[in-house]
Amino acid sequence: MAFDQPDLVACLDLREVEPGVVEGDNLDIGYHRVFGGQILAQVLAGASAASPDKSVKSLTILFPREGDTSKPMRYRVTKLQDGRTFGTTEVVATQDDKVISAAVVSLHADEGGLHRTDPLPTVGGPDDATVLDIPMIPWDVRSVDGVDVSDREVGPPELHLWMRAAALGDAPRSVHQALLAHATDLTIIGTALRPFEGISQADSTVTLHTAVTSHSLWFHQPFRMDEWLLLSQHSPVVANGRAFGRGEVFTQAGEVVASFAQESMVRQIEPAS
């Protein structure tokens, strides 16, 4: 990994190239394909900037083709509806006039009301977890029970990760949301592969061809990425050349602050004859 947290925050600073169109730099990941988590983060940043009176409540994105890290990402931001409390914005990412991703973002102005959440899973705290080096997540990540989705040992299709970014000071809510969006894109495929003997996320591009096809996020409550969060995820099915997984994000105090779901293409690469 050739980037750190400040690089990730900096790539959220999108520049206007024409009315309704912004452009962002790519993270240096040492690979030709733009990381989907970066696109998620930049989509969220673009939609948030267009509606400063609201915050993102949900995002659904499709990835019809991969992006090229040698070219900047360009995003066309179109407000489809902008009401008093809710708004809907379309964000389409392109390179050379080819669509890389298409997202619909829902925004909401804060309001009160009924309140409850599911309790924090009984998995122990961050001090009980194992420090884990996960490429493309440039902050403190700790795995419950030491699970590493790069291992090829058989295990249940579950993963619990504690994570905490470095101090973000007075960064706006959209930055915290964008960093979390970035982090949710990376480990669901590995979680789905855990029950399969002899393969893991590390086999992507070697014996497996994998690519995220769609990703959805819901933000339920404000949170800070520079405080401990638990990403608790599970994959209920791998079938028909696709894997599906979902997860919840908890604060250390036990509040559910976000949810996410992802579908990916997972194909075994046939050995050359």
pTM for the full predicted model: 0.94
CB-based burial, 88-109: b 16+ in 10 Å, e otherwise: bbebbbbbeeeebbbbbbbbbe
User: What pLDDT, on a 0 to 100 scale, did the predictor assign at position 272?
Assistant: 59
CA 261 to chain centre: 9
Q: Which CATH number fits domain 5-110+125-268: 2.40.160.210, 2.40.50.150, 1.10.238.10, 3.40.1350.10?
A: 2.40.160.210
Burial class (CB in 10 A: 0-12, 13-18, 19+), 137: buried
Query: What is the average pLDDT across 61-90?
Result: 96
Task: Tell me the domain boundaries of the chain.
Answer: 5-110+125-268
User: What pLDDT, on a 0 to 100 scale, did the predictor assign at position 63?
Assistant: 96
Residue-wise pLDDT tens digits, 92-118: 999 999 999 999 999 999 999 999 999
The answer to whether residue 270 scores a pLDDT higher than 60 is: yes
Residue 30 pLDDT grade (very low, low, confident, very high; cuts 50, 70, 90): confident
User: What pLDDT, on a 0 to 100 scale, did the predictor assign at position 62?
Assistant: 98
Distances (CA, A) of 111 to 29, 44, 222, 234: 39, 21, 12, 31
Residue 206 pLDDT grade (very low, low, confident, very high; cuts 50, 70, 90): confident
Residue 2 vs residue 247, higher pLDDT:
247
